[in-house]
Amino acid sequence: MHWGDRRARFRAILEGGRCVHPGSVFDPVSARIAEEVGFEAMMFAGSVGSHAVLGAPDLIVLTLTEFADQAYRINRAGSLPLLVDADHGYGNALNVKRTVEELETAGVAALTIEDTDLPEPFGAGGKARLIPIEEGVGKMKAALAGRQDPALCVCGRTSAPSIAGMDEAVKRAKAYEAAGVDAMFLSGVKTLDELDAVAGAVEIPLILGGGAPGLGSLDDLSARNVRVCLQGHHPFMASVQATYDTLKALRDGVKPADLPRVASGDTMKRLLRDGDYRSWMKDFLGG
């Protein structure tokens, strides 16, 4: 498949003047829904990958192959540019290079590589910590070296705001910008003052994790060179609750015809591209 147009559209978002919210997706159907309701881009998180593929918490037990395979399924079904959270690149800098190669092949438009020490090392006791900044720079350089399509966006990511403070966040953002990343993903920023500290220190576009109430409106974020701001991953959680409620209702004796909030036949046919398949059957199977 051809991914160039999607990557060009994501770069246009980064180079534009407005911040957008991406649609959080986790499978082919959610990708089609995000497109149908009007999102400009999609987001597939490592945490959601662990939940959807393994039924596991976000503890970096998902493998690169499993994550890349699911990203490809999402891309194959939809046509929006897909931003993915590639966590720590599944290992050291050499693994990061391989991660970029696999995710580029899977069709992603942009990916983030973070500098958190992952998976949690022995004795950490649940307390997050950062890898040395020199190692982080090495990972960013390896990610860029792994890129074959120059249109693919490679984004640095740091949780320094919540782990080590804003001075360290600024230091890392500047270092990763100097290494050549296309954008900087910040996790843990709580206020506009904190955001201003990074926005005033780097020129590359910013991407924010789940926004805090103190971060203001899309206009406020746009004025600070934020071009993508996540809203969390509620679609997956909502789907879990809907599935739970439906199965419980059926187990409790509710008749299928009486179930609330079930997608109509027309909605299912539209999202599953039933018309296309019927046409192909006629053309290719002689129906």
- Domain for residue 231, yes or no? yes
Angle at alpha carbon of residue 155, lines to 149 and 160, rounded to 5°? 160
pLDDT at 211 over 70: no
What is the phi-psi region of residue 11: left when phi exceeds 0, alpha when psi lies from -120 to 50, beta otherwise?
A: alpha
Give the length of the chain: 287
- Helix or strand run (H / E) with residue 30: helix 28-36
Mean pLDDT computed over 193-198: 97
Distance CA 109, CA 228 (A): 13
Domain that holds residue 263: 258-287
CA distances from 74 to 125, 187, 268 (A): 35, 24, 17
CA distances from 178 to 94, 200, 235, 252, 254 (A): 20, 15, 36, 60, 60
| Beta-sheet strands, E only, within the chain | 23-24, 42-44, 82-85, 110-114, 153-158, 183-186, 206-208, 226-229
* Block residue for tokens 């050499």: 94
Q: Are residues 149 and 51 in the same domain?
A: yes
Q: How far is CA 40 from the centre of its chain?
A: 13
Q: What is the pLDDT of residues 9-55, one digit of tens each?
A: 999 999 999 999 999 999 999 999 999 999 999 999 999 999 999 99
- Domain for residue 243, yes or no? no
Q: Are residues 159 and 265 in the same domain?
A: no
Q: Are residues 233 and 269 in the same domain?
A: no
Q: What is the pLDDT of residues 146-192, one digit of tens each?
A: 999 999 999 999 999 999 999 999 999 999 999 999 999 999 999 99
Which one has a higher pLDDT value, 28 or 125? Answer: 28
Quick count: other Cβ atoms within 10 Å of Cβ 276?
Answer: 9
Nearest Cα to Cα of residue 54 among 40, 43, 38, 70: 70
Distance CA 73, CA 125 (A): 36
- Domain for residue 61, yes or no? yes
How many domains in the chain? 2
pLDDT at 287 over 70: no
- Domain for residue 250, yes or no? no
- Domain for residue 81, yes or no? yes
Assigned token pair, 50: 């662990």
What CATH code is carried by the domain that includes residue 226?
3.20.20.60
Distance CA 79, CA 41 (A): 9
